[in-house]
A and B are shown apart, each in its own frame.
Chain A
Amino acid sequence: MCFCILGCTSNVGRIKGVYNSRKDILFLFLNKSIFRDRDGHTIFVYTYNTNNQRNQYVFDRRDGELFLFRDSISFAPDSILMIENNRENKNYVPQLKELVKSLLSKMDSLHITDVSSDFIKKGVSLKIYLKGEGVIVYAPNMEDVKGVEWRKYIESMKKLDDFWYYSVEE
């Protein structure tokens, strides 16, 4: 019980920390998904444009350094990352790595493990997963939330404001 109270309290603090940084979060992470495997050895970065096309960049992390293992490009240039994502551009990979490093660093500073824009078509523009317990969801327009399941899900969460919701149970 004591653990739960302490855990819940720290997670609410983390949720507030993310919420207070919401302008930065939206600027940095909207239309992007960043996932890490359990050991942080593999990092998946997906970007989504307005035509529902997805670019994929998969990195390996060895000795703290990022290596681009694979990219799968559906739209170029990448208007979400604002880079020329073609291999002929010699700055492409270094720029991409620096960008991803800075995004990961921002996530770590806010105790975020992963961010997802995978549910953008369902009306959930951003889902943020926190270390320990808790998720935060950004749904800018409830009328855009598609499907009963998703509406029920958001309604089951606690409200930070009209656009931001959280749960410490998930």
Chain B
Amino acid sequence: MGNNPILHSDFGGDTAIIFGANGNFLRFQNDGRQGFSGKAITGVSSKVSMEGGAPAISAKIHYRNFKLNDPSLAAQAVKNGVMNRVEFISNEKIQKQLDRSGVESPEAQNSPISYAWQGAAGGLMDYAIAGARAADLNQNTLYVTGDIGYDIADFGNFLFGRGMADLGVSYNTTVIGAQYNHIFNNRFRSHDAAPIFDLGPGTFDPNNPGWFDAETDQRAIFNGYSSSPREKQRQNRTWDQIDSYMKGWHPNQN
């Protein structure tokens, strides 16, 4: 592909994507690091000091830093002028997307696998489409949660992971289901990327999806899965069990 996003990565610098306090894209800025990351201005503080008998004003810009789930793609989408906003998405808004998908409903909780099976391929758990349909999510926006920024499609993957955890489906089953969905519903139908989420040159390749779900998709699913309160409770219970088991243990025990 001539427009492979990797080829457009700016390895030498200019690697922070800066957004203003209002969320709009401002500029790329060299932060001395390799790889792209994000920064949003949160405020400016100024200080007046006396230098040589004259007052001098110095200003400091404060940023909120975040990583990017798919740095090359996000940077390319910003360069293309298609992605131009950042939103630090609230827990309430995340919950709204999950509520809309019905994962907490008795129907879903009683038969989680079949619910996910019906929902994942283009229904209630196709969160990016459902969010765009409801005017909650927009292609031009980078969604930040847990200090990681996601484009709309990857944010859909994040919510899918979260939804699967809320359904109580194991992570392994979630990953296998995502791979199955990718192979049988995307690859064979050449529809890996939805044109509604086309972020411009170098970001959109519906015909070369590869056999397995992209690493960035899987990372988003994992992050979403791990962020679920239900999953956190399950992990805490596991640690409590380990802790309780270890209480009677001492180094000389076989």
Binding site for B on A (CB under 8 A): 35, 37-39, 41-42, 44, 56, 58, 69-70, 72, 113-114, 116, 118-119, 121-122, 127, 129, 131-133, 146-147, 149-150, 152-153, 156, 169-170
Residues of B within 8 A of A119 (CB): 82, 200
Nearest-neighbour CB distance to chain A for B115, whole angstroms, equals 16
Which parts of B174-217 form the interface with A (CB within 8 Å)?
185-186, 189-191, 194-196, 198, 200-202, 204-207
The 5 closest A-B pairs by CB, nearest first: A153-B201, A39-B122, A35-B196, A114-B195, A156-B2
Nearest-neighbour CB distance to chain B for A66, whole angstroms, equals 14
Binding site for A on B (CB under 8 A): 1-3, 8, 76, 79-82, 121-123, 126, 129, 132-135, 139, 185-186, 189-191, 194-196, 198, 200-202, 204-207
Interface SS of chain A: mixed
Contact assessment for B2 and A38 in the assembled complex, using a CB-CB cutoff below 8 Å? no
Roughly how many angstroms separate A129 CA and B1 CA in the complex, as a whole number?
17
Contact assessment for A116 and B198 in the assembled complex, using a CB-CB cutoff below 8 Å? yes
Residues of B within 8 A of A133 (CB): 190, 207
Roughly how many angstroms separate A35 CA and B197 CA in the complex, as a whole number?
10
With A146-B81, A150-B200, A170-B206 already in contact, the answer to whether A116 and B133 are too (CB < 8 A) is no
Contact assessment for B194 and A149 in the assembled complex, using a CB-CB cutoff below 8 Å? no
Roughly how many angstroms separate A129 CA and B195 CA in the complex, as a whole number?
8
Contact assessment for A44 and B132 in the assembled complex, using a CB-CB cutoff below 8 Å? yes
Contact assessment for A38 and B194 in the assembled complex, using a CB-CB cutoff below 8 Å? yes
Contact assessment for B122 and A35 in the assembled complex, using a CB-CB cutoff below 8 Å? no
Contact assessment for B195 and A149 in the assembled complex, using a CB-CB cutoff below 8 Å? no
Roughly how many angstroms separate A113 CA and B189 CA in the complex, as a whole number?
12
Q: A129 — nearest CB in chain B belongs to which residue?
A: B195
Roughly how many angstroms separate A29 CA and B98 CA in the complex, as a whole number?
35
Residues of B within 8 A of A170 (CB): 1, 3, 204-207
Contact assessment for A149 and B80 in the assembled complex, using a CB-CB cutoff below 8 Å? yes
Contact assessment for A149 and B189 in the assembled complex, using a CB-CB cutoff below 8 Å? no
Contact assessment for A39 and B121 in the assembled complex, using a CB-CB cutoff below 8 Å? yes
Residues of A within 8 A of B185 (CB): 38
Contact assessment for A132 and B195 in the assembled complex, using a CB-CB cutoff below 8 Å? no
Contact assessment for A72 and B200 in the assembled complex, using a CB-CB cutoff below 8 Å? no
Residues of A within 8 A of B202 (CB): 149, 153
Residues of A within 8 A of B121 (CB): 38-39
